[in-house]
Amino acid sequence: MRITVFGAAGNVGSRVVTEALTRGHDVTAVVRDPARFGELHPEATHRAGDAGVPEHIAELSAGQDLVVNATRPAPGHENQHAAVSRALLDGLARAGGDVRLMIVGGAGSLTVPGKEAPGKGGGVLAIDDPAFVPTAWRHIALASNEQFDAVRTADTEVDWTYVSPSALLEPGVRTGVYRLGADELIVDAEGNSSISMEDLAVALLDEAERPKHHRARFTVGY
């Protein structure tokens, strides 16, 4: 499989690149600044490009099977999150073909198991539960919710998948063991919601190789 990864020098992106290369895929690792090429996996093809520019996306997705977006807005620029997703959809539509898009998003739009919002007739969103989204994280969680809305409401023929990690996403170890869900936060027996970045990459590549979620969101956790 030919895979392009935007945000390839980041915490999640670098792990996606490594996991894909380990499985024998042909990976193009993309960063905005060529000065960061030294941070990229030496076995990947290094390219410069901006996930917020449709022309860059169209060029870097040409001839590829999958585009993964693992970019994250810089502090103070959270409003770019949704705009980048729209640009990705636009760029892939311009490129034509059957290039699939997978977006690594956030957990804030997932519902909390066993909780209902008073008077709203629906579940409590993780973003509204401080146990899962502390106040300090709320700004990026809001941006991720807007990102998800931009993707799920888009009028597009692009085959997209939105990946929501657990509430706690940190560097860790690759176990290869995880659970999948749809729109509800995955929690363990103690009520914790977590996944390592390494196992998130495993789940993402498993989905890439054996697609099950077309134009849909899935979540992954322990």
Task: Quickly count: other Cβ atoms within 10 Å of residue 67's Cβ.
Answer: 27
Q: Mean pLDDT over residues 213-219, rounded?
A: 98
CA distances (Å), origin 148, targets 40, 45, 104, 162: 27, 29, 10, 7
Q: Top-level CATH class of 2-221? A: alpha beta
What is the dihedral sign for C-alpha 40, 44, 45, 48? negative
What pLDDT was estimated at residue 204? 98
pLDDT at 73 over 80: yes
Q: Mean pLDDT over residues 42-71, rounded?
A: 97
Q: Mean pLDDT over residues 12-39, rounded?
A: 98
Q: How confident is the model at residue 75 (pLDDT cuts 50, 70, 90)?
A: confident
Q: Mean pLDDT over residues 173-188, rounded?
A: 98
Residue-wise pLDDT for 89-132, tens only, equals: 999 999 887 999 999 999 999 999 988 776 665 789 999 999 99
Residues in the chain: 222
Residue-wise pLDDT for 121-160, tens only, equals: 578 999 999 999 999 999 999 999 999 999 999 999 999 9
What pLDDT was estimated at residue 27? 98
What pLDDT was estimated at residue 119? 61
